[in-house]
Structure 1
Amino acid sequence: MLAKVASLGVLGIEAYPIEVECNVVRGLRYLAIVGLPDAAVKESAERVQAAIGNRQYRWPRGHITINLAPADTRKEGPAYDLPIAVGLLAADEQIEATHLADFAMVGELALDGTVRPVKGVLPMALAARDAAVGGFIVPEANAAEAAVVDGLKVYPVRTLDDALGLVTERLSLEPKQVDIASVLAQTARYEVDFADVKGQEHAKRALTVAAAGHHNVLMIGPPGSGKTMLAKRLPTILPPLTVEEALEVTKIHSVAGELPAGQALVATRPFRDPHHTASTPALVGGGSYPRPGELSLAHKGVLFLDELPEFNRATLETLRQPIESGSITVSRALMSVKFPAEVLMATSMNPCPCGNLGDATRECRCTVGQIRSYMARVSGPLLDRIDIHIE
């Protein structure tokens, strides 16, 4: 028998509908998962088999084919465990899933049948609403994140039994509800405050202008002069996130797995400070299956590059185009993914290799040639994109 379960996948930061087709027929025992699955999807057979058995159901006998449509798009991650399990039990006629077509579902299954959280639930919820599904079944830890989408019924489940109860009408659950405006107001708090800074009037004035006009800024000074302290407090003087901006930022963090379990929204301006050894894919995004990098994770917030000359020069050069355009396109042989990257870039550097140039208490021993070589590590075109220089 054939059973079809609606699910969703993520490409970039956008989601698209996926139909999980499970077919069970008589014949030699055999299992095939098709539709360009990655290793995690292929391994789902072992997780699903253990979960079904530990929930007192029977693994279907015979020839099993699981198709993830559309078949020409690569599928990755464990989010299809739950729809595969429900589809197999429906195809084997162990449950009477009268309302299976009314739901879309995602979730990773533990071996005991509990449902674990997955990445990218917010963009999936937005796509589910656009597809006009009757209800969206998600892991309990992802429910708050999905429930911020207005006009979508979100049903949190803890176990495989809960999901089966919903599609068979054996269980009645109330949809999760979240007031997005109140969540945004209650969680929009920073751990630091620009008002904490005493003195540094010249630097504070420059950063205030940078925040007001959304100008990129470079701070040059010896170690201990407060460059990092000021940069960390820069997001606190930016305007509060609007609801639309918070949803856009949360989508990126959800896809990257950076959203803590149970948290509904990223309510404050992001602040990202990658180490100077970060690779190009880590900074701007990439990988065989493109993921957002630090640049996109700082979208609508501050990207702070400390010790700017210590970054790989080729890595820094990749920032030139997205800083101006506000987006970064990662192209691969089979796909091209566009990530948003509207950031205020704050950078800092020492005035010389030893860092003591201009310090009244420590002597600088760098030669003129060493200082010029150090400053030349940052290209002119990149410096041209930094509007405010503070010394």
Structure 2
Amino acid sequence: MKFRKHIGAELASELRAIKNRLHRHILDEIETLPSGNDEQLMQFVKDKTVHYIREQRIAINQMETEIVVKDLVDELLGYGPIDPLLRDDKTNDILVNGPHQIYIERNGKLELTGLQFIDNQHLLRVIRRILAPLGRRIDETSPMVDTRLPDGSRVNAIIPPLAIDGACLSIRKFRADPLTAADLLVYQTFDEETLALLRLAVECRCNVLVAGSTGAGKTTLLNVLSSYIAHGERLITIEDAAELNLRHPHVVRLETRPANAEGTHAVTARELVRNALRMRPDRIVLGEIRGAEVLDMLQAMNTGHDGSMATLHANSPRDALNRLELLSGFAGYNGSEETLRQQIASSVDLIVHIGRMRDGRRRVLTVEEILQVADGHYVTQSLYNFEPLTRLRPKLSKMAGRDAGSGGRRYV
């Protein structure tokens, strides 16, 4: 990558064409190499590449040859064109839409890179190389997979025939140094008053639900809030793919297990929540409420496990309450609507809504306290609201409610 910064687009395209010609040649040759370590394989690739360039009289200089060799080594021994992206600390998400389109997210904004896989088969080989050490497979009989890398990065892949335009790969990278409350203050995710409010809620053992859209920063906020839990308490985390990195000395981490090739032996979040209740937890932290585990989590929050936390996909506190009801219905809840609402109101103390602005920044938009249910309706109190300063007309203000800007604050 360090050389590619100094070459033009035309030369980069030329080198990519040369690399594509070399790719199949090296693949054929590498099958004759006895098993060895990575250094031996790298030297083998370099020798074969240099020999092929000389034999074919390809007009490229030493620097350009090094670029081709490095890219080939990444593709044959690493993760192809996304290998340098995985090593880049500034890249948060890697999104591969077929072999010829790779996007990344940096600072909350998507960017189209100039990187490409050679073809769909090349992309499939890289996906399988990622999954092999994890004991997971992907093929026509099992064309979707959701898992995580050893460093905690989350991986999702889907291949044809479900993905029409070629295999798709999404990687949410795991930060080696998780963001702290001080970092979020610098990034203006919240101000000091809002942080003090959230810290007090955690220390007072309020049950907190963090709601927001995909990529809004729910997990990051949950990590920060966990730092305010007293060190004498025992935490149990439950996730589909382990992403939480709680700043606490006593954490037991549990992770769901998908079904095997025969469709059996799956372990769901609901089963793990029920098991966690037998493990003497002081608080339970559920990575995301997305299914039948909602009823068990609400029950845990309401039966002696105060201070528990969870995240939920929702666009507002009101939407979060509606989604809890919807998921409870899917989970087989048979009671009345009012009884369910009373259960939710007595279980959840605060809903913290976090969103992503148009400029890519994440910001806490609302902190809503759930008080009670009266006449079949939730009674809530807004403790914090982020409001943009500019409001042109009612319809526009509703659309701009998550817009960027130097907004004001309103405490009720």
Same-fold status (TM-score > 0.5) = no
Q: Taking CA–CA contacts closer than 8 Å with sequence separation of 6 or more, which of the two structures ends up with the larger relative contact order?
A: 1
